[in-house]
Amino acid sequence: MSGQTPQFGDLSIGKAAADEFVRLPRYPALFEIRAARMKTLAAANPAAGFLGLMVRVFSAQADASLLAGEVVPPSAEAIARAREHAMPPIATDSWVPTATYRAALRFIAANISRDGLPQATIDVLAGLGEAPDEHLDNLARAHLESAIPPHWQGEAIFAVAALQVEFARIASLLPKEAIKPLDAPGLCPCCGSPPVAGVVVADHAFGRRFLSCGLCSTSWHYVRVACITCGTEKDVAYQEIEGGDGVAKCESCDDCRTYSKIFYQQKNMAVEALCDDLATLSLDLMVNNAGWKRHAPNPFVPVI
């Protein structure tokens, strides 16, 4: 669905906007939604080969999320401590690799269709299925520490997919009312990871920007026309590809010389931050070439 702005009758949009800070992930539906959105975006994209692989990854995530074992969310006491100190309740620096993460990674690697994939990718998937627990754990830690070595890049895509299943599931179990902004408001209030992009929504909170976590898929409110890296409102501008449909823009900051993606639901209600980000890498290249650096990478594209 695209093009039309929804109507809400007598709904008090101002009150809804004021009351809503965080949107927890719709687990497990979010992975099915991503697979469907990615399939649509891949059909008419020059990067159809890569995006087609991501369709397979998101579909495997959806299946893995239905089969995942039990996870243990933080205790009420741990959540209260995190809230008191403005820290994320499922912080990545305190996460310990789990059997559910490893099972998800092995399942994803085993259930991605090999048809038409490059032999190198097929070899990576086979290797993950046979890898010892220690290696899978090291992959997870390396990603969370932003320290993936070059020779692990091929495996990292699938480790990220398993980590997303793990963290989204835990985040979905958190009490929404306990989630508060961090001291660094541009980071996810649930896990502390950077956002992959922002979406200006066109639902009951019409016109608000929600940043979308690249790890646990939580979304949280962040004011518009303010840099998500340094917070300034003075030197913010919007870049887009000439002749585009207005769905995707880059919010650039001349103060810290960074940028972040922003998508507009009023232009297309099907927008999904992670998928639409992957489908608009040409916009990243344009803005990078003009001298700005991306706020944080898409977890499936570690270097832009």
Per-residue DSSP letter, 235: S
Whole-number pLDDT of residue 19 = 77
Min mean pLDDT across 1-10, 115-124, 230-239, 278-287 is at 1-10
Whole-number pLDDT of residue 5 = 33
Banded model confidence at residue 281, pLDDT cuts 50, 70, 90: very high
Q: What is the mean pLDDT of residues 113-117?
A: 95
How many whole angstroms separate alpha carbon 159 and alpha carbon 139? Answer: 6
Whole-number pLDDT of residue 18 = 54
How many whole angstroms separate alpha carbon 29 and alpha carbon 26? Answer: 6
Neighbour count for residue 198 (Cβ, 10 Å)? 28
How many whole angstroms separate alpha carbon 236 and alpha carbon 95? Answer: 35
User: Secondary structure of 253-292 in the HEC alphabet?
Assistant: ECCCCEEEEEEECCCCCCCCHHHHHHCCHHHHHHHHHCCC
CB 248 within 8 A of CB 280: yes
- CA nearest to 109, candidates 120, 100, 122: 122
How many whole angstroms separate alpha carbon 301 and alpha carbon 278? Answer: 8
Neighbour count for residue 15 (Cβ, 10 Å)? 10
How many whole angstroms separate alpha carbon 64 and alpha carbon 91? Answer: 23
Judge whether residue 7 has pLDDT over 90. Answer: no
Q: What is the mean pLDDT of residues 176-181?
A: 94
How many whole angstroms separate alpha carbon 12 and alpha carbon 30? Answer: 27
Question: What is the value of pTM for the model shown?
Answer: 0.92
Banded model confidence at residue 69, pLDDT cuts 50, 70, 90: confident
Whole-number pLDDT of residue 13 = 37
Q: What is the mean pLDDT of residues 12-19?
A: 47
What is the set of domains in the chain, with CATH numbers?
22-178 (3.90.1670.10), 195-294 (no CATH)
Q: Which residues pair with 259 in a beta bridge?
A: 252, 294
Judge whether residue 3 has pLDDT over 60. Answer: no
Banded model confidence at residue 183, pLDDT cuts 50, 70, 90: very high
Name the helix (H) or strand (E) containing 9.
Answer: none
CB 107 within 8 A of CB 67: yes
Tell me, what amino acid is at 171? Answer: A
Q: How many helices (DSSP H) and strands (DSSP E) are in the chain?
A: 10, 8
- Hey, what are 16's tokens? 């809804």
Banded model confidence at residue 70, pLDDT cuts 50, 70, 90: confident
Q: Which residues pair with 210 in a beta bridge?
A: 199, 221
- For the CA atoms of 248, 17, 274, 193, the dihedral, rounded to the nearest 10 degrees, stands at 120
CB 159 within 8 A of CB 105: yes
Judge whether residue 4 has pLDDT over 60. Answer: no
Min mean pLDDT across 6-10, 79-83, 166-170 is at 6-10
75 contacts: CB under 8 Å, gap ≥ 6: none
What are the φ/ψ torsions at residue 197 (nearest 5 degrees)? -175, 175
CB 197 within 8 A of CB 214: no
* Cα 201 off chain centre by: 16
230 contacts: CB under 8 Å, gap ≥ 6: 253, 255, 256, 258
Q: What is the mean pLDDT of residues 268-297?
A: 97
Residue whose token pair is 């489908």: 279
Of the chain, the percentage scoring pLDDT greater than 90 comes to 89
